[in-house]
Amino acid sequence: MTAESVAVGTELLLGDVEDTNSAELGKVLAQFGVLHLHRQTVGDNLERLAAALRLALSRSDIVFTIGGLGPTMDDLTREGIVAALDEELVFDQAVEDEIRAKLERRRVPFAPNQSRQAMRPSSSQVLDNPNGTAPGLLCAKGGKTVIAMPGPRLEFVPMLQGPVSKYLASVSDGVIASRTLKIVGMGESLVERKLEDLMKSDDPTVAPYAKTGEVHVRITSRGTKYEEAMSRVSPVEREARARLADVVYGADEDTLESVVLALLRRRGETLAVAESCTGGGLGERITSVPGSSDVFLGGVVSYSNRLKESLLGVSPETLAQHGAVSEECAREMAEGVCRATGATWGVSVTGVAGPDGGTAEKPVGLVYTGVSGPDGTTVERNEFPGGREAVRERSQKWALLQLRKRVSGA
């Protein structure tokens, strides 16, 4: 079974918007063993959109459209699909009623153009979109299937993981079993060297991917049944884990923050953060995990030196002698936030995120992360590559990694 995706939007071609949806779709298709052989992107132009869909239908079993389902005149995906399938749009009163109800709950008036979203191809059924007004569409005709999904990521991803995955499970003729090991604290080339012989295997395949501050290793096999495919993945997973040892922090859907929170939850311990250069990003990362409130108390964003003193009790002498980006300051921040919040563990981050503010002695990328806990305080020094955004992200991950090591006693 083959699939193809057609992303719709002039903003994609102009580079104003990154298309992250096509990659998300690719991952899900791989899970269901559906071959994703082509991707196309076209602008908000009916003729080119219809031509792209005709081409896709000529060579692929399932065609996904992404975007162009909004209420405006630029949103042409519905029209493109009926042109390619040679059918008509019909008005669906039930869809309009649903849109009206959603808008009412948000206290937004129903605009006349919103009725466009209640038009659907005559061969279609509607896919529920709890996160927006644009319904998804599934059209089955002449042995081919067209699935239309909304473009906003927060609408696209839930629809992909919900009704679309359900549909794929019902039609796919094979499965892919895979395990992704997640690694922080070892670079891609060293990971590759440790797994070199495993990477030469065709089944299961073993492939490392570098992410900002992390490396993921994906082990994959294909089969008719999940358990059968997984029985080839598991021994390789065990071998890879043995070779990589404690740099593997988790697998698959695990994130460093979810793993750390689970570890603390089991121990009945609490966590607080003291952030300087990350500006609140470490707290945001931790609280992105639903249910984090039973472990995470909060913390202090001490972006200015004044707040490092007044809210965290960092001593004026430390700031005068060593500066805010120093081992001493990171130590006092981590200890100070434990004192201020009563948390079992305090984690601090202070560094030079750039682009300005670097010196020969304290260059952009220099970051100190501290962890204070029942058995004392430790501080680590790092120099991270890659500009403000990357330095801030790597700092967060490094701080969590250090906390994980401390909590698990590694």
List binders of a copy of itself among 352-381 (CB under 8 A): 354-356
* Residue placing its CB nearer to a copy of itself in the complex, 109 or 142: 109
Nearer to a copy of itself, 20 or 122 (CB): 20
Query: Which of 149, 148, 150, 141 is closest to 57 using CA atoms?
Result: 141
- Determine the residue type at 183: I
Using CB under 8 A, which residues numbered 149 to 168 contact a copy of itself? 152-155, 158
Judged by CB under 8 A, the residue of 86, 106, 143, 227 near a copy of itself is: 106
Q: Omega of the bond prior to 355 within 30 degrees of 0, cis?
A: yes
Cα separation, 14 vs 270, in Å, equals 47
Q: Is 61 in the site for a copy of itself (CB under 8 A)?
A: no
Q: x/- string (CB under 8 A) for a copy of itself, residues 218-257?
A: x---------------------------------------
Task: Quickly list H helices, 43-143.
Answer: 46-59, 77-85, 93-105
Query: Judged by CB under 8 A, does residue 119 bind a copy of itself?
Result: no
**Is residue 298 near a copy of itself by the rule CB under 8 A?**
yes
Residues near a copy of itself (CB under 8 A), total: 116
Residue among 152, 213, 150 at smallest CA distance from 182:
213
52 binds a copy of itself (CB under 8 A): yes
Q: Judge whether 120 and 135 are in contact, CB under 8 Å.
A: yes
Please state the closest distance from residue 390 (CB atom) to a copy of itself, in A.
Answer: 5
Stretch 77-96 residues interacting with a copy of itself (CB under 8 A): none
Q: Using CA atoms, how far apart are residues 310 and 302, in angstroms rounded to an integer?
A: 9
Report CA-CA distances (Å) from 17 to 5, 7, 408: 17, 12, 41
List Cβ<8 Å contacts ≥24 apart for 239-243: 239/198, 240/181, 240/195, 240/198, 240/206, 241/181, 243/194, 243/195
Whether a cis peptide bond, with omega within 30° of 0, leads into 163 is no
Tell which one of 71, 174, 313, 358 touches a copy of itself (CB under 8 A): 71
CB of 54 to a copy of itself, least distance (A): 12
Alpha helices in 60-183, H assignment, sequence order? 77-85, 93-105, 153-159, 165-171
Q: Which stretch binds a copy of itself (CB under 8 A): 80-88, 205-213, 241-249, 261-269?
A: 205-213
- The footprint of a copy of itself on residues 1-20 (CB under 8 A) is 7, 9-20
Q: Which is nearer to a copy of itself, 82 or 277 (CB)?
A: 277
Judging by DSSP bridges, how do beta strands 345-351 and 271-275 pair with one another? parallel
Which one of 8, 33, 42, 83 is in contact with a copy of itself (CB under 8 A)?
42
68 is an interface residue for a copy of itself by CB under 8 A: no
- The reply on whether position 210 binds a copy of itself by CB under 8 A is yes
d(CA 347, CA 278): 12
User: Which position among 58, 246, 383, 408 is part of the footprint of a copy of itself (CB under 8 A)?
Assistant: 383
Binding mask 322-351 for a copy of itself (x = CB under 8 A): ------------------xxx---------
Applying CB under 8 A, does 281 fall inside the site for a copy of itself?
yes
CA separation for the pair 45, 66 (Å, rounded): 14
Q: Does 73 bind a copy of itself (CB under 8 A)?
A: yes
C-alpha gyration radius of the chain: 26
Q: Which is nearer to a copy of itself, 287 or 315 (CB)?
A: 287
